[in-house]
Amino acid sequence: MTHNVELHPDAEEDFLAAYAWYSERSETAARAFLREIDRAILRISEGPERWPTYDSLTRRFLLARFPFSVIYRVAERAVEVIAVAHNKRKPGYWRSRL
């Protein structure tokens, strides 16, 4: 069973900013980043409970090839992606989105 996944508007902005950064440097890297995000969201939708809790309200999926994490929570009607967070950015900057 797959779960519906929704992106918080700010998580979408996180993704778009990172994608733009990679696009400015390499279309190949940008496409790889997009594939990695798509893969992460698919895997999360297939089993959101598989990934460890990040704090008391969220879980985290670490990307394999890029220094980013997909921060999400399991809600009643969908899995909500709260942030596409660079691993070196200030931890928890996205908590106000909860």
Domains and CATH numbers, the chain: 5-87 (3.30.2310.20)
Pairwise pLDDT comparison (45 vs 89), residue with the higher score: 45
Q: Is the pLDDT of residue 89 over 90?
A: no
**Residue 76 banded pLDDT, cuts 50, 70, 90:** confident
Tens-digit pLDDT profile for residues 11-60 = 999 999 999 999 999 999 999 999 999 999 999 999 999 999 998 899 99
Whether 90 has a pLDDT exceeding 90, the answer reads no
As a whole number of angstroms, the distance between CA 3 and CA 48 comes to 8
Residue 1 has pLDDT above 80, yes or no: no
At residue 29, the 3 state secondary structure works out as helix
